[in-house]
Amino acid sequence: MKPIRLMSGFLTVGVWTLLSRVFGFARDIMIAGYLGTGPAAQAFLIAFSLPNMFRRFFAEGAFNMAFVPMFSKKLEGDEDAQTFAQDAFMFMAVVLSVFSVIAVLAMPWLVTAMASGFRGDERFDLAVGYGRIAFPYILFISLAALLSGVLNAAGRFVAAAAAPVLLNVIFVIVMLIAARYQPDYATGGLPTPRDWHIGWALALAVPVGGIAQLALVWWAARRAGFAMTLRWPRWTPDLKKLFIIAGPAALAGGVVQVNLLVGRQVASYFDGAVAWLSYADRLYQLPLGVVGIAIGVVLLPDLSRKLRSGDEAGGRQAFNRACELSLALTIPAAVALIVIPLPLVSVLFERGSFNSDDTAATALAVTVYGLGLPAFVLQKALQPLYFAREDTRRPFGYAVVAMVVNAIVAVGLSIYIGYIAAALATTIAGWVMVWQLWRGSRSMGEAATFDARFKYRFWRIVFASVLMGGLLMLAVLLVGPGLGMVGVRYGALAFVVAVGIVGYFGLGQLLGAFRLAEFKAAMKRSS
C-alpha cells in the first residue's frame, strides 16, 4: 500500500468513524437530556458496557489482531482464505452463543463485578434487567468484527467503517419513539415513567443494532467473494494456530478490560460518577475513534504485507506516516479537551435532567482524559508493529504492568480525590503502556524507527497545537455569554471550534508541521 493509499484508507475509515461518533454524540446528548445521571442512566451505561467489554476482549482486541495477519497471508498467497474465514466465523458463532446464554443467566454476578456499588439500591435491579436484554449484542458485533477484518484485509474499508453508524442511528430512532409513546406507569418510588420506559427501549436497541451491523458487513463480504454460510465448525490446524497466537492477545485485551472494570467499580461508589465518566469518555473517544481506530484498521494489514515481503523500508514509511498523521490530528484535539472542557460539556450535554453540577464533574473528567489522548492513539499505532509479526506475548506483559498501575492509582487515590481517580488512572496507565511499547519496539529494526521527516514535523505539530490552544481561550472569552444562551449556544461553540480548526491548520502549514496538499490528495483518492 503506497503512502497515498495508506492515507486514503485512513481517511475513508476516519470519515465514517467520525459520522458514527457524531450520531454517538446525538445518542449521548439525548440520554443525558432524558435520563441525566440518574439511576436509569447509570444502570443502562453499565449494562451496555458489559457486552462491549467482552467484545473488545474476544473480537477487536484479540481475535482480529491474530486473524487479520493470517487471513492476509492466505489472501496474498493464493491459499484458501475463504475456508479459513468460514471456519473462524462459525467457531466464534458457536462459542459466543454458548457464552451469551451463560452470561444472561449469570447477569447479577456480572453486574456486581462491574459495579458493586450498585448493590442495595434500584440501580442494581435495573442494570441486571437491561443487561440480560443487551448482552446478546456480543454475538452479533463479534461476528461483524471478524467480517470487518476480512473486508479490511481485502482493502475494502467502507462497509466495515460504516457499520457502527447503524447502531447509533437505531439508538436515536428508538429514543425518539420511546419518548413520544410512553405507557402510563405507576412508579411507586421507582424511576420516573420516562426513565423506566426509555431505559428498557435503549436496552432493546443494543442487540437490534448488532444485528443490523452484522447484516451490513455480511452482505459486503458476500459481494467481495467471501460469503459466510451456516454449518458446524471444524477444528483445523489453521484454527489451532490462530488461537495459539490469539491467546496472549486475548489475555492482553482482558487486562485492558480489567482497567475499565476497576474504573467503573470506583465510579459506582460515587453517585452520578458512572454517567459523568461515560459522557466524558464520549468526548475523548471522538478523536480516538476517528484517528486511532482508523490507523489500527488500515496500518495492520499494510504492515503485515510489507514485513512478510521483507520490505523494511516500506514498513518504516507506513509506520511513520501513520504516527505523523495520527499525532497531527490528535495533539490539537487533546489541547482542546484540556483548554475548553467546560464550554464543550455545557453546550453538548447540559439540558433536561443534566444540570450544571453534572457539567462541572464531567468537564473535569474530560480534562484528565485529554491528557491521555495522545497515549491512547499512539498505542493504536505501536501495537501493529507487534501484531504484524504475530508477536502477542510482549503486549500482554506490557498490559499487565499497565493494569497494576491503573489499579493502584484508581483505588488508592479514590479515597482522596473521589471518582476522578478512575480517569487519572486511565491516563497514567495509557502513558505507561506507550512507553513500554516504544521501548520494546527498539529491537525490531528499521521498520520501527522514526525517520527524519517525522522528527522534523513532530515538534512543529506540538507548537501549532499550543498556539491553537491560545486561540481557543481567546475565542471563548470573545463569545463567553453566548455559550450559555439557549438560542445561540450551538452557534457560539461552532465559532470557537472553527477558530481552533482554521487557526491550527493555518499555523501548521506556516510552521511546516504538515502540508495541506497531502490531506487534499488523500481525500481525492479516498472519494
* pLDDT tens digits, 495-505: 999 999 999 99
CA distance 292 to 263: 21
* pLDDT tens digits, 50-99: 888 777 666 555 566 667 667 777 776 655 777 777 888 888 888 889 99
Percent of all residues in the chain with a pLDDT value above 90, rounded to a whole number: 28
User: Could you tell me the pTM of the whole model?
Assistant: 0.72
Percent of all residues in the chain with a pLDDT value above 70, rounded to a whole number: 80
Give CB contacts under 8 A, 24+ apart, made by 150-153: 150/71, 150/85, 150/221, 150/224, 150/226, 151/217, 151/220, 151/221, 151/224, 151/226, 152/68, 152/297, 152/298, 152/300, 152/301, 153/68, 153/71, 153/72, 153/75, 153/301
250 or 268, higher pLDDT = 268
Tell me if 179 is assigned to some domain: yes
Q: Is residue 186 very low, low, confident or very high in pLDDT (cuts 50, 70, 90)?
A: very low
The per-residue pLDDT for 275 is 87
Residue 150 has pLDDT above 50, yes or no: yes
The per-residue pLDDT for 391 is 74
Tell me if 144 is assigned to some domain: yes
- Tell me, what amino acid is at 354? F
Tell me if 52 is assigned to some domain: yes
Tell me if 182 is assigned to some domain: yes
* pLDDT tens digits, 275-298: 899 888 888 877 776 665 556 555
The per-residue pLDDT for 190 is 45
Three-class SS of residue 112? Answer: helix
Cα within 13 Å of Cα(493), Cβ side: 18
Q: Is residue 14 very low, low, confident or very high in pLDDT (cuts 50, 70, 90)?
A: low
Q: Residue 14 — φ and ψ, nearest 5°?
A: -65, -40
Q: Is residue 194 very low, low, confident or very high in pLDDT (cuts 50, 70, 90)?
A: low
Tell me if 183 is assigned to some domain: yes
Residue 206 has pLDDT above 80, yes or no: yes
Cell triple for 148: 470487518
* pLDDT tens digits, 157-168: 677 777 888 888
117-121, 211-215, 463-467: which has the minimum mean pLDDT? Answer: 117-121
Tell me if 199 is assigned to some domain: yes
DSSP letters of 365-402?
HHHHHHHHHHHHHHHHHHHHHHHTTT--HHHHHHHHHH
254 by Cβ neighbours in 10 Å (0-12 / 13-18 / 19+) ranks as buried
Structural domain boundaries, residue 182: 38-234
Q: How many domains does the chain have?
A: 1
Residue 194 sits at the vertex; the CA angle it makes with 190 and 200, to the nearest 5 degrees, is: 80
Q: Which of 328, 21, 342, 3 is nearest to 164 (CA)?
A: 21
Mean pLDDT value of segment 342-366? 89
